[in-house]
Structure 1
């Protein structure tokens, strides 16, 4: 009696799967179903390719096609998060510029000068965090990472700086 040999499917070469038109078509379908616009599908496919090349050494993924589809779904979700964040930023900028030109330019100039004077009175650390938060529109987490300080320190400096600014501007009778 002959011994049975189990035949294992050959692991697909990563480079082959990245150029296989059938797999690329499936990736595009997952991205399209995920809501990525047609004109950005090729960019999504490229992101999936990069993630595959960066994240997985050859042969560690059992079912590479399934893995690619999961990554494509995640790329589509990331696209939605990015769109939501960009839309909110555009809306904030539009709100700021909708008030331009200012109704009371003289008052705005006086406020701008008073804010500049108040900023000069702050210690360097507080001035730095305040500027990054309100002028560069960075989050507390981003500021902490950029300055390599704890988030609590950023929050504390912001709180103290805003209080000092408020007191200075009130004393100058600007606000």
Structure 2
């Protein structure tokens, strides 16, 4: 299916959801839950935690669907909500870690890296070892198949920044994967 056909299909689904059609809301969840879970799961190590975050994402999506200004941009809108929810969750988790650390102080190539490693589990394990910024951009680009412009919209950064983050993240993933061999 072409991108234009997908955009039209997304637009119609978003408009039906805004009208409050129960079948449309069911279709929205059925269609997008696997993709959004995949994105969230790549960003979080714990599967149960990922499901909890995804539940928060769906609450936000269903409560804000009326505010979707550009129905054709449904994918970017969904990923933006997922990202914002995820970042809020991670900020809370990091703040919790900081409080715990304060209480108990501790002692002081350009080839696509995914093409070389065909074992998906090895790639996913490598992704889990990357910083969230690198993991996020690689997941959106390679695993969720968003364009540079779409990623820029989701992350609210310029396309040039997306390209530079992709370059850095590819190198980091390659280093992690080569170190695991």
Q: What is the TM-score when the length of structure 1 is the normalising length?
A: 0.42
Q: What is the TM-score when the length of structure 2 is the normalising length?
A: 0.41
Q: Which has the larger radius of gyration?
A: 1
Greater share of helix: 2
**Higher relative contact order (Cα pairs below 8 Å, separated by 6+ residues):** 2
